[in-house]
Amino acid sequence: MTDARSAQVLVIGGGPAGYVAGIRCAQRGLDTVVVDVGRPGGTCLNVGCIPSKALIHAADEFARATAAVTGTPTGITVADPTIDLAATVAWKDGIVDRLTTGVGGLLARAGAELIRGRATVVDGKTCDVVRADASMVRITADHLVLAAGSVPVELPHLGFGGPVLSSTEALGLTAIPRTLAVVGGGYIGVELGTAFAKLGSHVTIVEATDRILPQYDQELVAPVERRLEALDVTILTGTRAGGYRDGRLAVGTRAGPTGAADPADADGPAVPAERVLVTVGRAPAVTGWGLERLPLDRNGPFVAVDRRCATSMRNVWAIGDLTGEPMLAHRAMAQAEVAADAIAGGPAVFDPVAVPAVVFSDPEIVTVGADPAAAADLTDDGVVVGRFPLVANGRAMTRDRTDGFVRVVARADDHLVLGIQAVGAEVSELSAQFALTVEMAARLEDLTGTVHTHPTVGEAVAEAAAAALGRPLHR
Ligand code: NAD
């Protein structure tokens, strides 16, 4: 028997986009249902941002302890550190449990109903949901919010399964592979490749373009490359993965018909790999849940939306990874708030000056707004760029991590800050200041005129702005 439920808002997907939309709609007094086949929190909380950061942290602690076996500049020596990866994974799973349970609680407190089940779109107002116990409920709603997220891209000849892992399986490994080939040197490949290298795997990164993290400029990536080299990671650029057989990954420099190296064309020495982690991007989850029944405008593979997150169908909204790049949780959450406000009838527009991005590599990379090359394209009046190296920052010295720099990019005429970037240990925590600076249209003088706490790495921001004004203080 099929149950029936009507609602004002039905949200498909309980990830950062969907659960935030659910909370906000319910807070606005709308009768709201959120459906997710898994635990709330989506990729980010369950198998993405949060568990990967837990693993990265544990790997970092272990690498620090391992390095201290031969003594450190701080005078600390550690004898024979060990790591029990199964215990690490259990600790990570505990964090995920707390957060996903917390999201369920937040939805309940706001008054939204969370249904665990698989939703299939019937039409622009109707969805069928098959619950875990196989019972079905048909939900009709005034507004449909599509927030189904994204899925990892699979290479045709390196399908996930067995030793070929997506990031999801890599985060659940309970034994450290002696050798790991990482296909794709983007966000996930570099983050997890670094973590496994710190845990003791010999890691080879296979990247199709001419360098890792190709979306970032070389100046920002160079400190990360140096660290990977120090961790004995092999980086093969201009290289594609071929087939995997008998513990070896074929690689080649020629692209085959599928965009990967054709196994038959593999012209490089095969890479020894107990496991292969494939991280060649993510794609919007547009199949398998009836989305094709809605005649929606598309933007490439993504669902096209306007600045209110409205699709081309009345009262059908889309948010998060389904709607395009950058596929980042914080963009999804910001869109969700806009969509909820729009549904509730308020004025709402998703139009940020910049969406910050962080790579949790070692050292970390933060970018907000335009880099020097992009800024030069934005204005005819020229740009000024100020840099401050962390080697001259007192706090960085006292943390024994002086690799990296902060870079501020501004218009030459009125000093409007167009972008801020940094690479350095734990600089991800500066990303909020960078975003606020760009979003509030601050000028270089606003940065130099703000009293920055001493001694902090954040002082490097004011110093970089001072350098851009031609009056550096500590350089
Ligand atoms: P990505 O787009 O960052 O990197 C994929 C890399 O794979 C690219 O460098 C590409 O050149 C390379 N590549 C593609 N095909 C290849 C092939 N056949 N052989 C070798 N290399 C190949 O994608 P990702 O790392 O899989 O991450 C997916 C998404 O997840 C990102 O777009 C990002 O939005 C999100 N993410 C964000 C964070 C973060 O914010 N810190 C962390 C992880 C993931």
pLDDT tens track for 406-465: 999 999 999 999 999 999 999 999 999 999 999 999 999 999 999 999 999 999 999 999
CA of 281 to the centre of ligand 1 (A): 4
β-pair type (136-146, 126-131): antiparallel
Report the predicted TM-score, pTM, of the whole model to 2 decimal places: 0.96
pLDDT tens track for 105-148: 999 999 999 999 999 999 999 999 999 899 999 999 999 999 99
Pocket test for ligand 1, best of 188, 244, 366 (most atoms within 8 A of CB): 188
User: Per the residue annotation, which of 202, 415, 454, 474 is the catalytic one?
Assistant: 454
CA of 49 to the centre of ligand 1 (A): 14
- CB-defined site of ligand 1, < 6 Å: 155, 183-189, 191, 206-209, 214, 240-241, 259-260, 279-282, 326-328, 358-360
CA-nearest residue, atom 27 of ligand 1: 281
Contact 163, 244 (CB under 8 A): yes
pLDDT given for residue 263 in this prediction: 54
| Catalytic residue flag (residue 452) | no
Give me the helix-helix angle, 218-230 and 187-199, nearest 10°: 20
Q: Percentage of the chain with pLDDT > 90? A: 95
pLDDT tens track for 190-244: 999 999 999 999 999 999 999 999 999 999 999 999 999 999 999 999 999 999 9
pLDDT tens track for 6-61: 999 999 999 999 999 999 999 999 999 999 999 999 999 999 999 999 999 999 99
pLDDT given for residue 259 in this prediction: 56
CA of 100 to the centre of ligand 1 (A): 25
Examine the pLDDT at 265 and tell me if it is beyond 80.
Answer: no
CA of 325 to the centre of ligand 1 (A): 12
Question: pLDDT grade, residue 394 (50/70/90)?
Answer: very high
